A = this chain, B = another copy of it.
């Protein structure tokens, strides 16, 4: 193999980010939501990178979603002023929330129970700091949130917040079950279920005389398949910025849209078993096996040549901490490519959020697969 000289200068394993594919993914969803008339509040938990956020956050809205207060702090420092922390608040985190708000960031929190609402009210009473809140709605039984039609709980929380001096901003939901969809029709149904659930909850709040300016929905699958967003004021989505094999497996993107991969070096063979060994194991790929429950199990990822072109039925069938085992997919008639010790391959991840988190920077490549930038990423809470 003639090694791409630009990639040859990198230490393996490392992350490669195809900038053109990323920009295409961003533009595709932006155009889609523009047509539906609803702004995108991108989720920055996938990228955790200020450089990616510069492309991802639409300057027309300058708003974002985060999954940790660390993300909120980093992105607020980078100039994003409207940030939604979309994990139910733990009471002891309110001090960090208030500190960030005091620095000029309009940080919004979420919650789904009266104990949290009371903790917020107590905090406001003690500090005099108003805190904006969305109430989380569970549109599909996926994890947290109040059932959309549980008017009693919803109104009780809303009143506790308003009476406690909080700034009730509205409602939020996440169609987490859409990740299990198996057809476009199912994706469209999940999107409509998400919309209906949140609109019911917003209506209940408003009918009780409570404020509800924000009606927030989102997941990468439903954001790409919603046909109607009536009553919705913003859409959240995160993983679409890079996409991954789980998203390709449910038909939200093509494999060719996946902008993230892990560069690895061949270190050996077990020829009688049909194995190629590389220096990227689960530490580089993550332990995410999200495609294991899909129709096509991609192992630890699809193997591409050094420039990102899939070899066909070649996948990483198993991984140790710093070893990956590459082989032809089970039951495939494909053949193993001739790869020598020292050759480079790229592996597309099951789950971009998980794979990204194993690394501290992106090696950004242009269309000619030349490394044009090093973008740091952060982690932690």
Contact = CB atoms under 8 A, between A and B. Distances in A.
Nearest to A286: B287
Interface stretch (A33-41, A85-93, A124-132, A251-259): A85-93
B381 A321 contact: no
Interface residues of A, number: 61
Interface in A350-381: 351, 353-354, 357-360, 379-381
Contact of A45 (B116, B268, B318, B321): B321
Contacts of A318: 143
Given A68-B322, A287-B289, A381 B144 contact: no
Given A115-B342, A354-B287, A90 B12 contact: yes
Given A11-B381, A287-B289, A354-B287, A87 B265 contact: no
B322 A115 contact: no
A141 to B, nearest CB: 8
A265 B11 contact: no
Interface stretch (A54-62, A75-83, A182-190, A277-285): A277-285
Contacts of A14: 381
A131 to B, nearest CB: 16
B359 A380 contact: yes
A107 to B, nearest CB: 16
Q: Which 10 A-B pairs have the closest CB atoms?
A: A115-B341, A287-B287, A90-B265, A88-B267, A287-B288, A67-B322, A91-B342, A87-B322, A113-B268, A144-B277
Interface of A: 8, 11-14, 45, 67-69, 87-93, 96, 111-113, 115-116, 119, 138, 143-144, 176, 265-270, 277, 279, 282-284, 286-289, 318, 320-323, 325, 340-342, 351, 353-354, 357-360, 379-381
Given A12-B90, A89-B267, A143-B277, 10 more contacts: A13-B381, A14-B381, A88-B323, A90-B265, A91-B341, A113-B269, A116-B267, A176-B320, A287-B287, A358-B379
21 contacts: A8-B92, A67-B283, A88-B268, A88-B279, A90-B267, A90-B341, A91-B342, A92-B265, A111-B268, A115-B342, A143-B277, A143-B318, A143-B325, A144-B277, A144-B323, A282-B354, A283-B357, A287-B288, A287-B354, A359-B380, A360-B380
